[in-house]
Structure 1
Amino acid sequence: MVLRRVPIIVAVATAALLSTGAAVAPTLSTTTIATHEAPAAVPDDAQAAAPQAVSPQAVTPVEANGQLSVCGVRLCNEQGKQVQLRGMSTHGTQWYSQCVDDTSLDTLAYDWNADVMRISTYVQEDGYETDPARFTALVNQYIDMLSERGLYAIVDWHMLDPGDPNFNLERAKTFFTAVAERNNGRNNIIYEVANEPNGVSWQTIKSYHEQIVPVVRAKDPDAVILLGTRAWSSLGVSDGASESEVVNNPVNASNVMYTFHFYAASHGQEYLDALSRAADRIPMFITEFGTQDYAGEGANDFAMAQRYLDLAAQKKISWTNWNFSDDHRSGAVFTEGTCGSGSYGTDRLKEAGGWIRDQIRTPDDF
């Protein structure tokens, strides 16, 4: 086991000031530790009130694991050890870029102890197609920020409507060529080349993957690539199919994984069983899930979500939760008005935010 990053916040105040009883804001400084033993727990209400003054421990997820690769049906680090990454997905960056700043990422890295963030670049819906240069630059900016904190970055090509990924094939080639060429010296980039294909056959989706994977490989030959599956990345289950169509007809490429999305209040036992069976046959990565319904709204079903995450822990399936924003929906982790406020403490978390923070803070054993 490597050292996890544990922030220590030290308040410094002179004895004279304390003796006066004056309301004086303490001066904050930070330090790091180099021990396997974590400091005494700080109550959540104290953490909520504390400024986000944090500093990384010596070993970050990327320092511990290096270049990831697919070994058999699992994700492995550069030592060949099976690993599970846990983290968050941004909301669409055309809407919620203000939620990804230095303070929020410090919170994600050093308080939540996340391993990975998924950068969701919508293609349509006022996204990439409206200004390719701007959105490509934004992805690169976020990659730089995540790299500074030792986190992995998933570059998500968030195609959704239209559901045929081939509609955006040329745009995807341009985007992934630019991002992979600019970042090919990094060892922390993962590429998700089609968010949620829908309304088309697996053979059509497979054809897209087999055209776009070589584009990434030409610029970044070692990176893991994540491949969307049919029916909103449900392995076809939402269209009445099963995982067998992918298992029996996989993409002709190496070092790839297949994506699965679930929303606990909408996707029950049938979906969980398909994921479990698939994970024994092909490499799987849960790049998006929520504890609510499929729209990220409504009541939370934490019991069903926990069953999914228990399976993911058992089978070393990595995951990112939807989403790291202050959207009004119950699936956004922060309360409205949080982003840009400078404070991302536990007092700003919705119910789902508190739950997922606890899940992320329970680390894998790498």
Structure 2
Amino acid sequence: MKKQIKVTLIVIVAAIIAAAIIWYVMYLRGKEQDLLTPVGTRAEFIGDTDKYPTMLTAKGTQILNADGEQVVLKGVMVPESRSLYEEKKFNEDFYKDVFAKGGNAIRVPISPVEYKNDDYYMWRYLDRIVTWAGENDNYVILDWDYTGNPIDGSGDEMPDLDENPLDYSAEFWKNIADYFKNTPNVIFEIYNEPVGMSDSEWKRCAESLIGVIRDAGAKQLIIVGSPDYCYDLGWLDELGVKNDNTAFSVHVYPDKVFWQKFLSGYVTSYPLIVTEWGYADDDIEVKNEKLKGTRNVFGIKFTRYLEKHDIGWIAVGYDDTVEPSMFTKGYKKLTKWGEYVTELLGDKEE
């Protein structure tokens, strides 16, 4: 009998210890777990938006705020939200570090796969990012991160989804625009990199997605990409989107050796934003050799051109995995490219 009581006591004590350990672990991870809890499936963004940067408007080749002052967007592309969470870095402190680097905008890539797999993606991640950015006087470019043909779904980088890309993009933008339609610091980038279609086909796709956003009541700035991985601006000559408050994006990396020639015909006619650019210097290895470049040969020349024409830009990326990375593995230190971006933004911590 005494032996049985002893065994019972041991089991009870073990259970108490196990419960205490579980509670302690949950306590330590409390903040992280809270981030996985949806903030609520409300119909519209709620925040103190009067304190956020004002809505931007494209006029001529310039982008203006509500006071009619020119705003040149400068900032970095942050990691995709779900992947950042998996690294245990999706929290306000991470984004405060980003904002502390300087600049006035961040670009947030939204994976169609992650969005599809998480019914609460908008509330779980985007709502928080927009709030943190607004409170730190930053704009947020919401980038729908498809790369390929939106009509037939072709392209080596297209996600493995059953949905037709154009139809799914329309569904996405209907939800996003309806939710953020009264949030002044949000900018909509309708499609990351169109590939494998004619200019006229892309124009029809772009105008249909713009129409979805406007029909939802959202009046904010819309960024429209271009064919050939968001590089060929030639479609604007005769087929450019005729719509209020749109700007046009271009992506430039060191392999685009004739970038100045390609841009020169459009900088005086359209509001342009470089929503991706960067290079990988000799201090890091990259899988994509097309990204290899240096500050002197590519970086300085490109940034001087952008400054001359007041063209906004987003650097890729505030990350330790996406190429070209601003950080070495584990965010231990800045790469040469990261150091250059930090200099350009004027680190607020310095």
- Under a length normalisation based on structure 1, what TM-score does the superposition of the two structures give? 0.70
Number of the residue aligned with 1:308: 302
Deviation at 1:197, TM superposition (A): 0.3
2:215 counterpart of 1:218: yes
Number of the residue aligned with 2:114: 127
- Helix, strand or coil at the partner of 2:250: strand
Greater Cα radius of gyration, structure 1 or 2 = 2
Q: How does 1:323-362 map to 2 (within 5 A)?
A: 323-327=317-321, 329=323, 331-338=324-331, 348-361=333-346
2:79 counterpart of 1:91: yes
Structure 2: unaligned runs, 5 residues or longer: 1-49, 154-163, 281-285
Deviation at 1:174, TM superposition (A): 2.0
Whole-angstrom distance in 1 between the partners of 2:166 and 2:269: 28
Q: How does 1:156-235 map to 2 (within 5 A)?
A: 156-162=143-149, 164=151, 167-235=164-232
2:95 counterpart of 1:105: yes
Deviation at 1:101, TM superposition (A): 2.7
Aligned with residue 142 of structure 1, among 91, 114, 129: 129
Structure 1: unaligned runs, 5 residues or longer: 1-61, 236-242, 339-346
Alignment check: 8 A CA contact 2:57 2:245 kept: yes
- Deviations along 1:273-323, one digit per CA (max 9) or x if unpaired, are 211321111111111111138948764322212222111111111111111
Number of the residue aligned with 2:107: 118
The CA RMSD measured in Å over matched residues stands at 2.6
- Helix, strand or coil at the partner of 1:348: coil
Whose helix fraction is larger, Structure 1's or Structure 2's? Answer: 2
Alignment check: 8 A CA contact 1:159 1:165 kept: no
- Deviations along 1:195-245, one digit per CA (max 9) or x if unpaired, are 00011111111101111112111234320000010100002xxxxxxx333
- Under a length normalisation based on structure 2, what TM-score does the superposition of the two structures give? 0.73
Deviation at 1:162, TM superposition (A): 4.7
Number of the residue aligned with 1:252: 242
Whole-angstrom distance in 1 between the partners of 2:322 and 2:53: 36
Whole-angstrom distance in 1 between the partners of 2:329 and 2:131: 27
Q: Which amino acid aligns with 1:227?
A: V
Number of the residue aligned with 1:46: none
Residue 165 and residue 322 in structure 1: after superposition, are their counterparts in 2 closer, same or farther (change >3 A)? farther
Residue 205 and residue 133 in structure 1: after superposition, are their counterparts in 2 closer, same or farther (change >3 A)? farther
Q: Which amino acid aligns with 1:158?
A: D
Residue 121 and residue 246 in structure 1: after superposition, are their counterparts in 2 closer, same or farther (change >3 A)? same
Alignment check: 8 A CA contact 2:53 2:184 kept: no
Whole-angstrom distance in 2 between the partners of 1:357 and 1:168: 36
Alignment check: 8 A CA contact 2:151 2:166 kept: no
Deviation at 1:91, TM superposition (A): 3.0
Alignment check: 8 A CA contact 1:263 1:296 kept: no
Whole-angstrom distance in 2 between the partners of 1:135 and 1:296: 35
Whole-angstrom distance in 2 between the partners of 1:203 and 1:282: 18
Alignment check: 8 A CA contact 2:274 2:311 kept: yes
Deviation at 1:70, TM superposition (A): 0.3
Deviation at 1:164, TM superposition (A): 4.6
Q: How does 1:271-310 map to 2 (within 5 A)?
A: 271-292=259-280, 295=288, 299-303=292-296, 304-310=298-304
